[in-house]
């Protein structure tokens, strides 16, 4: 059985998780705490898994000449707090107390500027591929650690990107098993 994850209160980093610092973050507004988790799905190139390009995108080092799709996202400055790869590896890009740039134009619980009060978790995946068992296990571990460190986050306050940006986003997509994930919490 996997051990529990712990969040270092001082650094906001998850202990034992690889950290790759993204420049695409800033401070949350004063008095704005962590209240929700937003689950995303990403793959670069689209529907291809396992390469280094998600990390490169989040670190502004993506070679936009290396794939035709990348011309469409050239200059994009985005990040997420966490990425869960297909094999369950967890990579952290932004300390949890900082604001990652993951939600874009969105609305959650009647509030805009969702990045201000959320943690973004990317799953390596797409709308056309089921997620891996290892990803569900890692997501469960991460989410439990977040809920322990930030009590405002409850299972009822976990959303998909599609929930907060309907019509603009579809992730984590129809193949994400919400019942399985929430039952595991």
* Cβ count near 66 (within 10 Å): 13
Annotated catalytic residue within 35, 55, 122, 132: 122
Residue 113: C-alpha distances to residues 99, 116, 176 (Å):
11, 6, 25
Residue 88: C-alpha distances to residues 6, 13, 58, 59, 130 (Å):
17, 18, 19, 21, 14
113 within 8 A of 40, measured Cβ to Cβ = no
CA distance 42 to 176: 13
Is 122 a residue of the active site?
yes
Catalytic residue ranges: 122
């Amino acid at each position: 059985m996997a051990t529990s994850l712990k969040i270092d209160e001082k650094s906001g980093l998850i202990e034992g998780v690889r950290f790759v610092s993204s420049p695409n973050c800033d401070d949350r507004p004063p008095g704005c705490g962590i209240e929700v988790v937003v689950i995303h799905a990403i793959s670069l190139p689209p529907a291809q898994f396992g390469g280094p390009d998600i990390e490169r995108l989040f670190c502004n080092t993506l070679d936009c000449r290396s794939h035709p799709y990348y011309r469409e996202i050239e200059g994009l400055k985005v990040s997420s707090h966490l990425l869960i790869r297909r094999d369950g590896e967890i990579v952290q890009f932004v300390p949890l107390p900082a604001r990652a740039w993951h939600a874009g134009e969105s609305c959650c619980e009647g509030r805009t500027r969702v990045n201000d009060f959320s943690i973004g978790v990317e799953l390596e995946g797409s709308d056309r591929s089921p997620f891996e068992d290892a990803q569900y296990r890692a997501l469960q571990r991460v989410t439990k650690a977040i809920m322990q460190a930030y009590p405002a986050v409850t299972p009822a306050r976990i959303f998909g990107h599609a929930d907060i940006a309907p019509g603009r986003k579809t992730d984590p997509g129809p193949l994400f098993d919400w019942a399985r994930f929430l039952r595991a919490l």
